């Protein structure tokens, strides 16, 4: 159990922009920061972070909250796990108690799989360092690869002994369930019930998420068994999806964002060796073909990828097909190859940091130059092959979403291949037109398939309508959250009569805080919110103001349950979306600040809510009118309410702002 003081310290210390900055590349947008959504696939940013309010909002998915909410959404942490992660990040002491059997029983399935994986990592690492066989085989192997003790410790490398069920016995003995040993793939359960360790007799490479959680493992065999795979990875599970994971991303993320470039290599040891040499912005797809999800993971941190290839890599042409995927994501690609017989591991091992950096900077080529140099040798003087090469290059250029960037690459390709730019542009246009036609054809087929489906009138969805009262209640919540503690000059207009019975208006001005104005007005009219979420949030806000007189965004949010916290964050950040698209900078359209007319804005929405409720009262009264009854009292009430609406109509016409 984490103490309240520790939790308070974590919230006071953690900075939402720093926490999210470890996962998403953020750029300045006015007083806020923006980036690509980590929850959806998008080309333009819809993710906003407010350092002032210490909250974030993802307009593409609708999610939002504070730094803890981000970790719970993005990394699927439980609340305590998020607190522990932040405490570790900011070096805050936290009381860690060993998990009891009851704690393990209560953990949800995914969390249980994480716990089993983290136990396995510690077991393999400890086994390697503390047992004779671990030191003789596992530790010796890593030392021979040139890894230092600090590097071995940092990457959590380990060894699984050549015993059928050594790990499984240890895990079961510590109270971990067979079910989760099976689901993570650490243990293979035979039909006769026997347990077999999947990774026995292998050195172990833990595979971690961007936040450092152990998702799975890669194990390398050290024996000469030709029937066994050299490398063995954890199977797909609820926590490990190899197409969405990059080896080393946890250790590389900050360097990638800082250097604004990511080196992409093929294997575990490539990553570790380069990291040890001081080049830390490096990740690996871990032996799998590069996938769009892996590219998007990098895209959150940088738009620039440099792909590193072995000098004598077999099937190099096939390997560079992944470049087209990178281009499709709108990223900038460079390629660097090592001298013949070298790979990133061996080259980094024998080079100093400066030599390695200089080599990478000097030999990294734009993908067009690289592809041309690679394929020209194949074409040589064969016109047919050369034509195929050019079409291959233009096909890659067609993958680029940005029109200007495509134009630049066409010019470069024309120069390198000594061919008319017009011919290349024409070929590019044909390819793009074909893509558009194929997309249109696919859409028509989908529409046709939908049209052929029988329509069940009973299952047709009704057209959505706007709930005006919900909208007005939300607006009042917004005013309370954004401006509740500010003092404003409000006008109250009273209808009076002179000695001759002539009606006149008298205006009285008062300076009060906005929350007091709203609270007293709604109390006076006995108005209650009808939306249950807004009703609870309104009560929480008013109670907070009445107790503290002020409202600090991050402190207040931490007091709310998750459902209310989500709504409050959405309200806080709603106006910030205009800054995502840089209206003032690019479109010369200034974003008007409500704070310039808070009193007017507040009064307007209170009147609108009164008007709406009066209208509902009149409708209810009209329904009570009966031909057989005396309806005089009802009709008099209707008349009074209509007079009040007319008064509100005159009043609102004087103060109507341009914000609603």
Q: pLDDT value at position 590?
A: 45
* Domain limits, CATH 3.90.580.10, in the chain: 4-89
pLDDT at 260 over 60: yes
For residue range 477-535, what is the model confidence (pLDDT) as tens digits?
888 888 888 888 887 766 666 677 676 667 778 888 888 888 888 877 778 888 888 88
Q: Distances from the Cα of 528 to the Cαs of 102, 244, 327, in angstroms?
A: 44, 48, 55
Q: pLDDT value at position 647?
A: 61
Most confident of 72-81, 303-312, 459-468, 552-561: 303-312
For residue range 403-426, what is the model confidence (pLDDT) as tens digits?
888 888 888 888 888 888 888 888
DSSP class of 418: T
Look at 406 and 437; give whichever has higher pLDDT: 406
DSSP class of 159: E
pLDDT at 46 over 50: yes
Question: Which residue blocks in 222-267 are alpha helix, DSSP H?
Answer: 249-259
Least confident window among 89-103, 545-559, 602-616:
89-103
Query: Which one, of 109, 77, 120, lies nearest residue 234 by Cα?
Result: 120
Least confident window among 163-167, 305-309, 368-372:
368-372
- The pLDDT-based confidence of 160 (bands split at 50, 70, 90) is very high
Token digits of residue 233 = 């990875």
In the chain, the N- to C-terminal Cα span, in Å, equals: 47
Query: Which one, of 158, 173, 145, 294, lies nearest residue 217 by Cα?
Result: 158
Q: pLDDT value at position 583?
A: 46
Q: What is d(CA 291, CA 243) in angstroms, rounded to the nearest whole number?
A: 6
Query: Which one, of 594, 606, 597, lies nearest residue 492 by Cα?
Result: 606
Q: Taking the alpha carbons of 557, 558, 564, 565 in that order, is the dihedral positive or negative? A: positive
Run of H or E including 503: strand 503-513
4-89: what fold? DNA Primase; Chain A (3.90.580)
Mean pLDDT across 8-28: 89
DSSP-derived 3-state class of residue 351: coil
Q: What is d(CA 138, CA 160) in angstroms, rounded to the nearest whole number?
A: 8
Q: Distances from the Cα of 308 to the Cαs of 365, 400, 609, 620, in angstroms?
A: 11, 21, 63, 74
Q: What is d(CA 49, CA 23) in angstroms, rounded to the nearest whole number?
A: 13
Q: pLDDT value at position 413?
A: 85
When the pLDDT of each residue in the chain is averaged and rounded to a whole number, the result is 82
Q: What is d(CA 275, CA 151) in angstroms, rounded to the nearest whole number?
A: 9
Token digits of residue 235 = 């199977």
- The pLDDT-based confidence of 166 (bands split at 50, 70, 90) is very high
DSSP-derived 3-state class of residue 21: helix
Strand partners, 79: none
CATH number corresponding to 101-240: 3.90.980.10
Least confident window among 174-188, 405-419, 643-657:
643-657
Look at 207 and 486; give whichever has higher pLDDT: 207
Q: Distances from the Cα of 222 to the Cαs of 137, 232, 562, in angstroms?
A: 8, 12, 49
pLDDT at 586 over 70: no
pLDDT at 441 over 50: yes
Q: What is d(CA 186, CA 179) in angstroms, rounded to the nearest whole number?
A: 11
**Number of Cβ within a 10 Å radius of residue 640:** 12
- Phi (first) and psi of residue 512, to 5 degrees: -140, 165
* Domain limits, CATH 3.90.980.10, in the chain: 101-240
């Amino acid at each position: 159990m984490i103490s309240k003081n520790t939790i308070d310290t974590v919230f006071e210390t953690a900075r939402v922009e720093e926490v999210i900055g470890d996962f998403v590349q953020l750029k300045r947008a006015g007083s806020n920061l923006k980036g690509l959504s980590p929850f959806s696939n998008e080309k333009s940013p819809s993710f906003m972070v407010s350092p002032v309010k210490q909250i974030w909002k993802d307009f593409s998915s609708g999610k939002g909250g504070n730094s803890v909410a981000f970790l719970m959404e993005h990394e699927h942490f439980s609340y305590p796990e998020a607190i522990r992660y932040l405490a570790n990040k900011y070096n805050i002491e936290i009381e860690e108690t060993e998990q009891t059997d009851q704690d393990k029983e209560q953990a949800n399935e995914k969390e249980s799989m994480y716990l089993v994986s983290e136990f396995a990592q510690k077991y393999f690492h400890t086994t390697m360092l503390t047992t004779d066989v671990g030191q003789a085989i596992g530790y010796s192997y890593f030392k021979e690869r040139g890894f230092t003790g600090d590097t071995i410790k940092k990457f959590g490398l380990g060894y699984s002994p050549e015993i059928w069920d050594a790990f499984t016995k240890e895990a079961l003995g510590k109270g971990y369930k067979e079910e989760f040993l099976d689901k993570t793939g650490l243990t293979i359960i035979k039909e006769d019930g026997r347990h077999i360790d999947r990774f026995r007799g292998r050195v172990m490479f833990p595979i971690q998420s961007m936040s450092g959680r152990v998702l799975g493992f890669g194990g390398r065999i050290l024996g000469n068994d030709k029937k066994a795979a050299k490398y063995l990875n954890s199977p797909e599970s609820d926590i490990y999806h190899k197409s969405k994971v990059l080896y080393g991303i946890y250790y590389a993320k900050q360097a990638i964002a800082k250097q604004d470039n990511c080196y992409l290599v093929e294997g575990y040891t490539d990553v570790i060796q380069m990291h040890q040499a001081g080049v830390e912005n490096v990740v690996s797809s871990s032996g799998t073909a590069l996938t769009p999800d892996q590219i998007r993971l990098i895209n959150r941190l940088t738009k620039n990828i440099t792909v590193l290839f072995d000098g004598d890599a077999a099937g190099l042409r096939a390997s560079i097909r992944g470049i087209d995927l990178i281009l499709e994501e709108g990223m900038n690609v460079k390629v660097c190859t090592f001298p013949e017989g070298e790979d990133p591991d061996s080259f980094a091992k024998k080079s100093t940091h400066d030599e390695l950096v200089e080599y990478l900077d000097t030999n990294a080529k734009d993908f067009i130059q690289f592809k041309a140099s690679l394929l020209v040798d194949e074409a040589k003087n064969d016109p047919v092959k050369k034509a195929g090469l050019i079409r291959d290059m233009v096909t890659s250029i067609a993958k680029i979403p940005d029109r200007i960037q495509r134009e630049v690459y066409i010019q470069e390709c024309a120069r390198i291949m000594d061919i008319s730019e017009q011919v290349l542009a024409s070929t590019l246009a044909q390819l793009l037109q074909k893509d558009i036609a194929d997309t249109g054809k696919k859409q028509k087929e989908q529409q046709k398939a939908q049209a052929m489906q029988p329509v069940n009138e009973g299952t047709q969805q009704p057209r959505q309508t706007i709930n005006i009262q919900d909208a007005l209640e939300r607006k009042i919540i917004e005013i309370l959250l954004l401006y509740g503690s500010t003092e404003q000059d409000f006008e109250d207009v009273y209808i009076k009569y002179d000695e001759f019975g002539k009606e006149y208006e008298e205006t009285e001005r008062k300076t009060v805080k906005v929350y007091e104005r709203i609270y007293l007005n709604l109390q006076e009219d006995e108005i209650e919110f009808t939306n249950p979420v807004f009703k609870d949030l309104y009560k929480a806000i008013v109670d907070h103001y009445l107790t503290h007189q002020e409202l600090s965004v991050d402190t207040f949010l931490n007091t709310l349950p998750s459902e209310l916290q989500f709504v409050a964050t959405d309200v806080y950040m709603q106006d910030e979306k205009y800054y995502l698209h840089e209206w003032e900078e690019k479109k010369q359209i200034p974003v008007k600040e409500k704070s310039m007319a808070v009193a007017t804005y507040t009064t307007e929405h209170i009147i609108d809510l009164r008007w709406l409720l009066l209208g509902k009262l009149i409708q209810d009264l009209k329904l009570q009118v009966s031909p057989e009854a005396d309806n005089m009292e009802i009709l008099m009430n209707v008349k009074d309410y209509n007079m009040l609406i007319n008064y509100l109509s005159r009043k609102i016409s004087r103060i109507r702002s341009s914000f609603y």
